[in-house]
Amino acid sequence: MEKILYSLREIEAVASRVLGEARGKTLLFHGDMGVGKTTLIKAMALKLGVGDMTGSPTFGLVHEYRDKDGLPVYHFDFYRIEDETEALDMGVEEYLYSGDWLFIEWPEKIGGLLPEDAVDIYMEELEDGRRALSF
Amino acid sequence: MTGLITGTGIKCLPLQAATFIPKIHMKEQKTYILAIESSCDDTSAAVLLNGKVLSNVVATQKIHEEYGGVVPELASRAHQQNIVPVVHTALNKANIGKKELSAIAFTSGPGLLGSLLVGTSFAKSLALALHIPLIEVNHMQAHILAHFIEDQGQDKPSFPFLAMTISGGHTQIIRADGFFDMTVIGETIDDAVGEAFDKSAKILGLPYPGGPLIDRYAREGNPGAFAFPKPKVDGLDFSFSGLKTSILYFVRKHQKEDPAFVEHHLKDICASIQYTIVNILMDKLKKASKETGIRQIAIGGGVSANSGIREALKKGEKKYGWKTYIPKFEYTTDNAAMIGITGYLKYLENDFSSQNVTAKARFKV
């Protein structure tokens, strides 16, 4: 597993690379709070042609964007979920098997529900403030 | 005429047709609206009579018990389990039967699609079965129109006014020129303000939802003890995700010197975080008021309970001549009463939906 080291200035290139090289459209972002998961996901959404990232206020669980072709791109944040039942209650399965781009933060919280072919992306902060990403 | 007495099928039709038409035209009569809200976590139902709330029920375990418990094999999702008992309880508390209803209002968006679908399908089916009009409601409009619920014993804003909706899911400033003439002039580009409170609390090790706890500790702390940077966002939009990261770095840095830093300074940290968040909100609100020349400010959403925000609004009244409005707390969080008042106002304008109406995860005001 190759590690990509990057700083915030290089985020656009990293976003393109993840989109181009990931083997699947369900991406699981692992990393501590503040490591930059949301920032990377927003950069990736921009690359997909998402123009408007507002207007989907759903308690942070899922933000639904539209790419340049009008197709949905889903951005999940399961940080506040306590168990998988809560995710089932919101109908997460429909999203997980939709075939659309899925960017998922805190996937550990719904580990048992995730599709087998989901791509794990690991992010960590380095001593010098740069980030290391591997998938 | 004999058909009216003998066959129930024939008996029903003329009666319903006879009651359906006058209800729409005789607006001064009693208008009962059943309202259903299922946009996010909670399933809620309310019954309103001419803008007055007769019942406003949120699904709880107690309702399930009174109704005979949850039947898990019938429903895999919370809303599906909740919707029938909640509507049943709302009608019972309002002391009316479903045949007396004039129309059914429901949240069609924005929200979680799976959750919205439950309320939408239920409302459509019931309206069809009762042969009464169906009214779709935008959840964000409803948060603002909650100010017009009749029984609150307080002044209502008059148009035009600025509405700021602040909750765990929303942060918006809206210019309201009429009940259904609203424009979003500012909103968050990332986290909602309630999320900012909850995530900050999580960094401090407080349990979820930590927003109210931050408020409680903040009241005894010094808001000037620590300084956190405010985001630079153009116009009237908000951003809260950077604050979370700066709090994280701040805590980490101080914990290197004192592992119990958070415990030692909890009240001051909470007060400083709250001070920063309230300032971010107030800066944009001041800007919005200045740019539009509007000084009536109506607040909605669960975060309106925050004491720091309430104090800042009071200051705004003295300093900038604002007149501020906050509804009763039960009408600020997600609730069906606000869907009901919006439904009633739409009913008065004959603004009904057809059976083709669908749930919309994204639904602009």
CA distance A85 to chain B (A): 9
pLDDT of residue B62: 61
* Partner-chain contact B112 A33, CB within 8 Å: no
Put simply, the chain B residues between 102 and 121 with a CB less than 8 A from any chain A CB are 110-115, 117
* Partner-chain contact A33 B199, CB within 8 Å: yes
CA distance A53 to chain B (A): 7
CATH code for the domain of A59: 3.40.50.300
- 3-state SS of chain B is CHHHHHCHHHHHHHHHHHHHHHHHHCCCCCCEEEEEECCCCCCEEEEEECCEEEEEEECCHHHHHHHCCCCHHHCCCHHHHHHHHHHHHHHHHHCCCHHHCCEEEEEEECCCHHHHHHHHHHHHHHHHHHCCCEEEEEHHHHHHHHHHCHHHCCCCCCCCEEEEEECCCCEEEEEEEECCEEEEEEEECCCCHHHHHHHHHHHCCCCCCCHHHHHHHHCCCCCCCCCCCCCCCCCCCECCHHHHHHHHHHHHHHHHHCCCHHHHHHHHHHHHHHHHHHHHHHHHHHHHHHHHCCCEEEEECHHHHCHHHHHHHHHHHHHHCCEEECCCHHHCCCCHHHHHHHHHHHHHCCCCECCCCCCCCCCCC
Mean pLDDT score, A99-111: 92
pLDDT of residue B18: 36
pLDDT of residue B23: 45
Give B174-200 pLDDT, tens digit per residue.
999 999 999 999 999 888 899 899 889
Mean pLDDT score, B236-257: 92
B41 touches A at CB < 8 Å: yes
Of A101-115, B20-34, B121-135, B140-154, which one has max mean pLDDT?
B121-135
CB < 8 Å to A53, chain B: 189-190
CB < 8 Å to A34, chain B: 244-245, 248-249
CB < 8 Å to A91, chain B: 77, 112-115, 117
Residue B144 pLDDT > 70:
yes
pLDDT of residue A60: 62
* Partner-chain contact B114 A80, CB within 8 Å: no
Q: Which of A39, A42, A58 has the CB atom closest to B112's CB atom?
A: A58
Which tops the pLDDT comparison, B303 or A54?
B303
Q: Compute the mean pLDDT over every residue in chain B, rounded to the nearest whole number.
A: 87
What is the ipTM, given to two decimal places? 0.71
Give A24-68 pLDDT, tens digit per residue.
999 999 998 888 898 899 899 999 999 877 644 456 688 888 899
Give the count of domains, chain A: 1
Tell me the pLDDT band of B137, cut-offs 50, 70 and 90: very high
Range of the domain at A11: 3-134
Tell me the pLDDT band of B364, cut-offs 50, 70 and 90: confident
